[in-house]
Each structure stands twice: as C-alpha cells, then as structure tokens.
C-alpha cells in the first residue's frame, strides 16, 4: 500500500486530505481551498447585495463569519464541490434522486469513489486498481475494504449519521492505480489464535453480525428506517459465504456455517411477525446464538 497517496490528519484540514486522497496527489493546499472559499463568500455577498446594501439582511450577512471556511482549516461542501469542478468531477448526494445514483445503491462496487462527512470531518473511500480503500486521514495508513464488505461499510456509515456523496467524472491517472492492478494489496490477516483458519470472509462475517446486533434496540427490535439498508448489506456480505455454495456436507457441523444460517434466518424473520417459542425461526434464540459466537471469538 506504500504507493497509495495518504495524508494523515493535520489540524482540521480533513477537506484537503479528503480531496488529495481522492485525486491521489498533493493537488490542493490550504491556500488553494481558502481562495475558493473566499470566492464563494464574495459570490454570496454579491447575491445578498441585490436586496439592497442598506437592508437588514445584508448588514446581518456582513457581520456573520464565513460559512465556507474557518480559522481551524475547516472547509464546506461548497468548497469541496468547487475544487472537484476544477477536475471535471461532480459530487452527488447518495440520497439523491439522480438516476446515476441508483447504481451506487444497488452495487457500490460499480462506482469509483465516495466522499463521506460527519460532524465536519471529511474522508474518501476510493477504488484503486481493482480494490477498495478507506483513505480516512485519521487512519495511520489506507485500509483495504473487500468488495463484499463495501456495501456493509456504507450502510454502517449511513446508520451512524454520515452524509455520503458519490463521485462522477474521470479521476486523474495515478501510479498507485497502475501498480495495484499489477500487484494487488495483500489483506491484513488477523493472528490465528486457535486451530481454526482465519480469512477475510471471517472478518466480513463478524462485522456483519456486529452491525446486526448493534442496530437492534434493547427489546431486540430493529429501527425500521435502517432495516432495509442493513438487510441488503448483510445479504451481500453473506452471499459468497452461504453454506449452499459449500461442497462439503459436513459444513452443517461447522460453527461458522451454523452462524451464517442463523443470520440468514434472522433476516427472514425480520419480515415476519414475532415467532412463538416453538417456532423454528425464533429471533431471541438466533440473537443469543450470535451473541454467544461473538463472545467466543472475542475471548479467543
């Protein structure tokens, strides 16, 4: 991953880090972004002046601080959008009715990059070569994201209150893109603490379970606003891990195979009314099995 351009967090310059991570180079400095912010401020001032320079609205506007930047190094979405326009790139909200965004919702891997924001922090998720990376400046280095986990990760961000934007347009060429197509980044494997093998699918599976548990309230119910997104993401994450795709009949005795079945059953249960204790689809039993699995893996 050494070839990937990654700026670590400096002050509140996450907008700069986010843009440079997206473009894969030191294309923007704080001065560049400040210039864009000042231009936007001036355009807003001119529009407000059309109401009359003696009007209360205009005088009140002059007394307010800039909404496009501050002394800490924060820059607004308008500044980021203007910076991307220089490169012919477009920033479209993930929640937009834009027809192009439908592809991002159904298959995020078909996109090329996302920009995410939460509480004034910006970061980029981008495909480099044929792999996806979390380029958050708060990380010590880029974080590889598997294709199956990408949908789950975006669903998690939405549920945590992040605003997500899809990038459209032609990104500039970068050396990392070419190098990673030739030699893909190796996944970081967790230490093996038992006789069981550990791979990326295990990591994705456990993340899926944690999300499914985290989104249940104390009564074991799901927030209906987030249920569809999480169910879809979980299914995508589990799709390649289904016991139906396994050739060995003994997988029924494998703990992870049983767990996958449990999650799939729980997904099916979400669309039904609460089951009776005697029902083969008992949500409480399934939830207990997931909790027990996580407890065992965390104590290994």
Each residue's pLDDT tens digit, 66-88: 677 777 778 889 999 999 999 99
Position 239 scores a pLDDT of: 52
**Catalytic member of 94, 117, 121, 241:** 121
Q: State both tokens at 111.
A: 């996109």
Mean pLDDT for 45-59 is 70
pTM of the predicted protein model = 0.64
Q: Is residue 136 among the annotated active site residues? A: yes
Which parts of 165-254 fold into alpha helices (H)? 175-182, 200-214, 224-239
pLDDT digits (tens, 9 = 90+) for 182-216: 999 988 754 443 334 444 445 555 555 555 545 44
Our answer to whether residue 121 is catalytic in this structure is: yes
**Mean pLDDT score of the chain:** 75
* H or E stretch covering 101: helix 101-106
Q: Which of 20, 136, 207, 241 is catalytic?
A: 136
Task: Report the C-alpha dihedral over residues 37, 43, 49, 53, rounded to 10 degrees.
Answer: 40
More confident position, 62 or 160: 160
Distance CA 98, CA 261 (A): 36
| Residue 9 contacts residue 138 (beta carbons within 8 Å) | yes
Report the pLDDT value the prediction gives residue 278, as an integer from 0 to 100. Answer: 44
Q: Which of 14, 18, 116, 174 is catalytic?
A: 14
| Annotation says 14 is catalytic | yes
pLDDT at 162 over 60: yes
Which residue spans of the chain are classified as CATH 3.90.70.40?
14-182
Q: Is 36 helix (H, G, I), strand (E, B) or coil?
A: helix
Worst-scoring range by mean pLDDT, 2-16, 97-111, 263-277? Answer: 263-277
**What is the dotted CATH code of the domain comprising 14-182?**
3.90.70.40
- What pLDDT does 8 receive? 94
């Amino acid at each position: 991953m050494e070839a990937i351009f990654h700026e670590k967090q400096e002050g509140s310059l996450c907008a700069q880090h986010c843009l440079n991570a997206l473009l894969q180079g030191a294309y923007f400095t704080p001065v560049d972004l400040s210039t864009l912010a000042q231009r936007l401020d001036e355009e807003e001032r001119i529009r407000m002046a059309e109401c009359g320079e003696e009007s209360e609205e205009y005088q009140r506007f002059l007394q307010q601080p800039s909404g496009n930047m501050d002394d800490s190094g924060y820059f607004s979405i308008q500044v980021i959008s203007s910076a991307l326009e220089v490169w012919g790139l477009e920033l479209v909200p993930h929640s937009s009715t834009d027809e192009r965004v439908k592809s991002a919702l159904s298959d995020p891997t078909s996109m090329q990059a996302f920009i995410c924001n939460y509480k004034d922090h910006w970061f980029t998720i981008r495909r480099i070569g044929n792999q996806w990376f979390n380029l958050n400046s708060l990380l010590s280095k880029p974080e590889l994201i598997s294709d199956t986990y990408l949908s789950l990760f975006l669903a998690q961000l939405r549920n945590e209150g992040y605003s997500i934007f899809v990038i459209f347009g032609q990104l500039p060429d970068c050396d990392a893109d070419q190098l990673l197509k030739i030699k893909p980044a190796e996944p970081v494997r967790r230490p093996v603490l038992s006789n069981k093998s550990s791979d990326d699918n295990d990591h994705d599976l456990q993340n899926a379970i944690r999300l499914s548990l985290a989104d249940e309230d104390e009564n074991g119910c799901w927030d209906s606003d987030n249920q569809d997104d999480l169910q879809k993401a979980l299914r995508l994450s589990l799709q390649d891990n289904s016991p139906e795709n396994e050739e060995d009949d003994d997988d029924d005795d494998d703990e992870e195979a049983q767990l996958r079945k449990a999650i799939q059953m729980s997904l099916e249960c979400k669309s039904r009314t609460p089951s009776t204790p005697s029902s083969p689809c008992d949500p409480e039993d399934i939830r207990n099995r997931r909790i027990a699995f996580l407890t065992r893996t965390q104590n290994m």
